Amino acid sequence: MAEKNAELQVGVQNHAFDVLDGTIGPSVVDISSLYNDSGMFTYDPGFTSTASCESKITYIDGDEGTLLYRGYPIEQLANHGDFLETCYLLLYGELPTKAEKDDFVHRVTYHTMIHEQMSRFFSGFRRDAHPMAIMVGTVGALSAFYHDSTDIADPHQRMVASLRMIAKMPTIAAMAYKYHVGQPFVYPRNDLDYASNFLHMCFAVPCEEYKVNPVLARAMDRIFILHADHEQNASTSTVRLAGSSGANPFACIAAGIACLWGPAHGGANEAALTMLSEIGSVDRIPEFIERAKDKDDPFRLMGFGHRVYKNYDPRARIMQKTTHEVLGELGIKDDPLLDVAMELEKIALNDDYFVDKKLYPNIDFYSGITLRALGFPTNMFTVLFALARTVGWIAQWKEMVEDPSQRIGRPRQLYTGYEQRDYVSIDQRR
Ligand code: CMC
């Protein structure tokens, strides 16, 4: 029960606010009445102290290094579950029964094809376009093809849009890849599981048989689980903000993909592998560590640090294990980049700069090495992140749309520009 037990004194005026408790994690001060009561806004650039919404989906304890989807630890889901089960959990709140899971898998599987006309969209892009550019465009274009699932007020249409996006994202991602490498598109196959189907659409060619390696498919599936949701990160907040205006879900997810692309967010997996290649050998690590610590050098260790985790990112641990499994399965005994990564991690974790700032490897540190071993070029890494995160975005979007207290998101600002001034005609300007 909320009680007015937070107070803010401004001059001689006192303002009282409710403190709301979650099930776990920090409580929040409900300052929504502040502007009406005092005429002031709060100021929190980067939202470091702001809870933008109430959510029941994902919980992170950054100090402990804990990540829970609907209460279940990520380690348990990654080790014992599979991606579609995780999708069901994120969307509906509970792990599915056998019958519910079969039904869900069936429904996703039978939505994997995309409208044939959509394939022509791809040829409008340059062959050297970044696959994330293709993703932003083509996922946004879904709203032009699936008019029967854009009415956000209709629960059935919301459900169909959710399934369509989870089902079609691997097809679109694989097509972006095939287009980029100049190979024919490969249609989805309903006899394959989600991850195997994706690998098949990426790596099969019409001229020979392609057998999906089950160990690699399992690794792919686990990578999808690890990326499925991460509470109110930048891209998820983007999806929620876009959706708060009533925009259709395909447009909202395209907005999320655009936000994810940045190197501080999902683009870090690509940037981390590029950095490891640039370092190249273990003896060059100290030089890069020094650069990362130099305030005058913009260089940062990519795949290190996190806004919320001030401990080892639990996803990075599982990813590191997955890296070893994939390299083992492929018989890659020596991967110079893995050697650089492991040594870099060791050195950074013992360096006062990184220790004091609580900078630990995040999920992106090892994912690049794994994805590269699976056969993906670096520019596909963020696409895979987007594919997996789609369910998180959708679940968060659905939760927001179904919240009766939902209003359009509209932050305010601290204005530091000019006060009102008069227009000057062009001949009098200096
Ligand atoms: N290398 C060197 N110094 C760093 C790093 C890094 N990777 N990350 C943070 N710092 C320093 C930063 O310079 C700052 O120092 P000071 O307090 O002296 O100014 C301090 O640590 C705090 O950093 P911040 O930028 O204020 O922290 P933030 O919470 O705004 O940024 C971050 C978080 C993830 C953007 C940042 O750590 C970063 O740029 N990391 C590299 C990019 C990366 O790996 N991103 C993937 C995040 S995980 C996947 C995802 O969720 O998308």
Please choose from 360, 362, 365, 382 the residue to mutate so as to test ligand 1's pocket, defined by most ligand atoms within 8 A of CB.
362
Q: What share of the chain has pLDDT > 90, as a percent?
A: 90
Nearest to 380 by CA among 305, 304, 273: 273
Atom number of ligand 1 nearest to Cα 260: 52
* Protein residue with its CA nearest to atom 17 in ligand 1: 357
Atom number of ligand 1 nearest to Cα 300: 1
Whether the predicted pLDDT of 260 surpasses 70? yes
Can you tell me the distance from the alpha carbon of 26 to that of 24, in angstroms, rounded to the nearest whole number? 7
pLDDT band per the 50, 70, 90 thresholds, residue 267: confident
* Protein residue with its CA nearest to atom 41 in ligand 1: 302
Residue 197 confidence (pLDDT): 98
Residue 327 confidence (pLDDT): 93
- Arithmetic mean of pLDDT, 135-151: 93
pLDDT in tens, 155-201: 999 999 999 999 999 999 999 999 999 999 999 999 999 999 999 99
Q: Catalytic amino acids? A: 306, 364
Q: How far is the CA of 151 from the centre of ligand 1 (A)?
A: 39
pLDDT in tens, 34-43: 999 999 999 9
Residue 39 confidence (pLDDT): 92
pLDDT in tens, 20-37: 999 999 999 999 999 999
Say how far residue 114 (Cα) sits from the centre of its chain: 23
Q: What share of the chain has pLDDT > 70, as a percent?
A: 99
Q: What are phi and psi of 18, to 5 degrees?
A: -75, 145
Q: How far is the CA of 360 from the centre of ligand 1 (A)?
A: 10
Q: How far is the CA of 201 from the centre of ligand 1 (A)?
A: 35
The larger pLDDT score, comparing residue 3 to residue 185, is at 185
Q: How far is the CA of 339 from the centre of ligand 1 (A)?
A: 23
- Arithmetic mean of pLDDT, 375-386: 95
Q: Report the mean per-residue pLDDT for the chain.
A: 94
pLDDT in tens, 331-349: 988 888 889 999 999 999 9
pLDDT band per the 50, 70, 90 thresholds, residue 1: low
Which residues pair with residue 8 across a beta bridge?
15
* Protein residue with its CA nearest to atom 16 in ligand 1: 357
Atom number of ligand 1 nearest to Cα 304: 7
- Arithmetic mean of pLDDT, 308-316: 92
Tokens 């018989």 — which residue?
Answer: 331
Please choose from 357, 371, 381, 393 the residue to mutate so as to test ligand 1's pocket, defined by most ligand atoms within 8 A of CB.
357
How would DSSP label each residue in 345-386? HHHHHTSHHHHHTT--B-HHHHHHHHHHHHT--GGGHHHHHH
pLDDT band per the 50, 70, 90 thresholds, residue 10: confident
Nearest to 202 by CA among 191, 188, 215: 188
Q: How far is the CA of 307 from the centre of ligand 1 (A)?
A: 7
Tokens representing residue 344 in the block = 């870099």
Q: Could you tell me which residues come within 8 angstroms of residue 328 by beta carbon, excluding any fewer than 6 positions away?
A: none
- Arithmetic mean of pLDDT, 313-323: 94
* Protein residue with its CA nearest to atom 8 in ligand 1: 305
* Protein residue with its CA nearest to atom 32 in ligand 1: 306
Ligand 1 neighbours (beta carbon < 6 A):
230, 233, 264-266, 268, 292, 300-307, 357, 359, 362-364
* Protein residue with its CA nearest to atom 2 in ligand 1: 300
Residue environment code for 206-241, b if the CB has 16+ CB neighbours within 10 A, otherwise e: eeeeeebeeebbbbbbbbbbbbbbbbbbbbbbbbbb
- Arithmetic mean of pLDDT, 79-103: 98
pLDDT in tens, 54-83: 999 999 999 999 999 999 999 999 999 999
Whether the predicted pLDDT of 270 surpasses 70? yes
Whether the predicted pLDDT of 4 surpasses 80? no
Q: Is the dihedral of CA 373, 378, 380, 383 positive or negative?
A: positive
Q: How far is the CA of 398 from the centre of ligand 1 (A)?
A: 30
Residue 3 confidence (pLDDT): 66
